[in-house]
A and B are shown apart, each in its own frame.
Chain A
Amino acid sequence: ETGVTQTPRHLVMGMTNKKSLKCEQHLGHNAMYWYKQSAKKPLELMFVYSLEERVENNSVPSRFSPECPNSSHLFLHLHTLQPEDSALYLCASSQERWVNTEAFFGQGTRLTVV
């Protein structure tokens, strides 16, 4: 059982819709991440939050907007997406200041943009 929970597991949305992905971690971690996983491509880091502050934004288009209201919750707000944004979106968390700690991943949200 993963300590990182993502909802929804599957999402189909039109290009004009607005939706949000939710991630919740019950591990007491203080860093959370959004990754994008497309077919035949490596996991791509999108956003990093450390102690609820965004510390990294890897040139992600503004149609993706993250929000971290507290150390246990992370959202990814989506609007006016493109078909090429269809992918598996993975949330992960880890504990700051422990350099050898691994990241724990959620099950992901399979997003299809039509």
Chain B
Amino acid sequence: GQNIDQPTEMTATEGAIVQINCTYQTSGFNGLFWYQQHAGEAPTFLSYNVLDGLEEKGRFSSFLSRSKGYSYLLLKELQMKDSASYLCAVRDKTGNTPLVFGKGTRLSVIA
């Protein structure tokens, strides 16, 4: 079967760093995606990892370990606008196949 686990909720302080973890067990692996979704809005793409290691994109970084079935999203210098749900998704088959999503982590940034 397929299983993607993330914490349900997290709270962090403005200006701090927060790490959102994601573990996955899927029948195959062809890339891991992170999306951000503000309440009432569409999910928007943040990052993509297919090889082990860290991908950095401004204040956001994403890490992947395929052997451990593990990824994290790192958000630095948190801002109030970063309060949102963060969705971890895996493409479990070869080719451009639909993504399998976790339940998402709701992040609240407080002053």
Contacts and interface: CB of A to CB of B under 8 A. Distances in A.
A4 B44 CA distance: 11
Contact of A105 (B44, B50, B96, B98): B44
Nearest to B31: A100
B43 A105 contact: yes
A33 B98 contact: yes
Contact of A106 (B35, B42, B94, B103): B42
Given A99-B94, A102-B48, A107 B41 contact: yes
B102 A42 contact: yes
A108 interface: yes
A72 B95 CA distance: 21
Interface stretch (A11-19, A63-71, A73-81, A90-98): A90-98
Contact of A107 (B35, B42, B102): B42
B63 interface: no
Contacts of A56: 98
Contact of B4 (A42, A90, A95, A97): A42
Contacts of B4: 42
B96 A104 contact: no
Contact of A97 (B8, B50, B96, B102): B96
Interface residues of A, number: 29
Contacts of A59: none
Interface string A1-24: 010100000000000000000000
B104 A42 contact: yes
Nearest to A4: B42
Given A40-B103, A102-B48, A90 B96 contact: no
Contact of A43 (B31, B40, B87, B95): B87
Nearest to B47: A102
Contacts of B45: 102-104
Interface string A29-59: 0010101000011110100100000001000
Interface of B: 4, 8, 30-31, 33, 35, 40-45, 48, 50, 87, 89, 91, 94-96, 98-104
